[in-house]
């Protein structure tokens, strides 16, 4: 059986984690978002009341932060190679790191691109910005406008790696998952 590796991506607060949690309840293999644990560590000694954007901007060493993040996502990808199942879903993929770095005008080396090229995905689904469900929280600092611009950065980045994302309609979690599964089959 050929396992298909599927990314669910999108700007902040678009419903990615809710979809992943629902897919897990349906017994699909899923890899969760890993940035929240990095964000907590990066902001633990900062006054978060004054953070107005993604904490990556405030990282003491943003290149190191991104290197740890891309390594973590690459490890998830490598771990997925050991699974024998029809579909494996990722809450964000490796190119998300580059899309965010592009958005925040952060330079990266060719090794970041190489990691993305060595980890192909079979499909990428993107959740569009959705004002109705958008909210900031203790680990999410972007405004809705920034989230909308990040959406475009994600579209551009995945397309540059030959994975033009498929937009998932704004709908209930169940209907969004049905859309993804029907598109895959």
Q: Which fold has domain 4-184?
A: Rossmann fold (3.40.50)
Cβ atoms of 147 and 113 closer than 8 Å: no
**Domain chopping of the chain, boundaries:** 4-184
pLDDT at 53 over 50: no
What string of DSSP letters covers the chain?
-PPEEEEEEESTTSSHHHHHHHHHHTT-EEE---HHHHHHHHHTTS-GGG--S-GGGG-TTHHHHHHHHHHHHHHHHHHHTT--SSEEEEES-THHHHHHHHHTT----HHHHHHHHTS--SEEEEEPP-GGG---BTTB---HHHHHHHHHHHHHHHHHTT-PPEEPPS--HHHHHHHHHHHH-
Mean pLDDT of 50-70: 69
Q: What is the pLDDT of residues 109-132, one digit of tens each?
A: 889 999 999 999 999 999 998 777
Say yes or no to pLDDT of 41 above 50. yes
Whether residue 51 is predicted with pLDDT greater than 50 in this model: the reply is: no
* Structure tokens, 22: 């629902």
Mean pLDDT confidence for 31-45: 68
Q: What is the pLDDT of residues 142-153, one digit of tens each?
A: 777 888 899 999
């Amino acid at each position: 059986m050929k396992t298909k590796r599927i990314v669910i991506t999108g700007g902040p607060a678009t419903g990615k984690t809710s979809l992943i949690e629902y897919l897990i309840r349906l017994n699909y293999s899923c890899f969760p978002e890993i940035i929240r644990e990095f964000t907590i560590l990066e902001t633990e000694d900062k006054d978060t009341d004054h953070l107005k954007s993604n904490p990556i901007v405030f990282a003491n060493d943003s290149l190191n932060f991104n290197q740890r993040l891309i390594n973590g996502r690459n490890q998830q990808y490598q771990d997925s190679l050991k699974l024998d199942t029809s579909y494996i879903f990722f809450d964000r993929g490796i190119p998300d790191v580059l899309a965010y770095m592009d958005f925040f005008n952060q330079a990266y080396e060719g090794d970041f691109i190489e990691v993305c090229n060595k980890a192909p995905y079979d499909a990428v689904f993107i959740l569009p910005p959705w004002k109705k469900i958008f909210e900031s929280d203790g680990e999410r600092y972007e405004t809705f406008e920034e989230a909308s611009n990040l959406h475009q950065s994600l579209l551009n980045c995945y397309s540059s790696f030959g994975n033009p994302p498929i937009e998932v309609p704004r709908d209930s979690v169940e209907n969004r998952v049905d859309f993804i599964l029907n598109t895959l089959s």
